[in-house]
Amino acid sequence: MTEPSADAARPIEEHRWTAVTRAIRVTVQPRFLPGESAPEEDRYVFAYTVEIVNEGLATVSLLARHWRIIDGRGRTEEVRGPGVVGEQPTLAPGQSYTYTSGAPLPTPSGIMVGSFQMQTESGHPFDAAIPAFALESPHTVRTLH
């Protein structure tokens, strides 16, 4: 999978990030799940909600996902697979698709970034960027240098 080039990747409000690639807008909103986390056991669980909006003129299908999950120590885990949450949605112009998933980390903070492999109805594949976003728990230690 090639690295996507996003037209924009920016926060649109606190804890909400968006990127647009070839008229596919991907917005992510992460949150910490204290009830599923166990900081004393180095287990920090995060959920993230992803909204994919087709702002273009062609129908597209989401075929696969590729995530890079980087914990607070810089360790990277790569996740690849078909679709998202067991689905491969097709979006006509103006349609959107939203799902929620999760990620456990051994550190109180981390970063996720990735891409969705998309395909137009005419068979042309492309990667839609998933913006980099922070996973931060209340246990995150902040220092200024």
pLDDT in tens, the chain (145 residues): 333 444 444 444 468 899 999 999 999 999 999 999 999 999 999 999 999 999 999 999 999 999 999 999 999 999 999 999 999 999 999 999 999 999 999 999 999 999 999 999 999 999 999 999 999 998 876 555 5
pLDDT for res 10: 41
Q: What is the pLDDT of residue 142?
A: 58
| pLDDT (0 to 100) of residue 139 | 80
Residue type, 77: E
What pLDDT does 138 receive? 86
Return the DSSP state at 42: T
- Which residues, other chains included, contact 78 with Cβ-Cβ below 8 Å and sequence gap of 6+? 66, 67, 68, 69
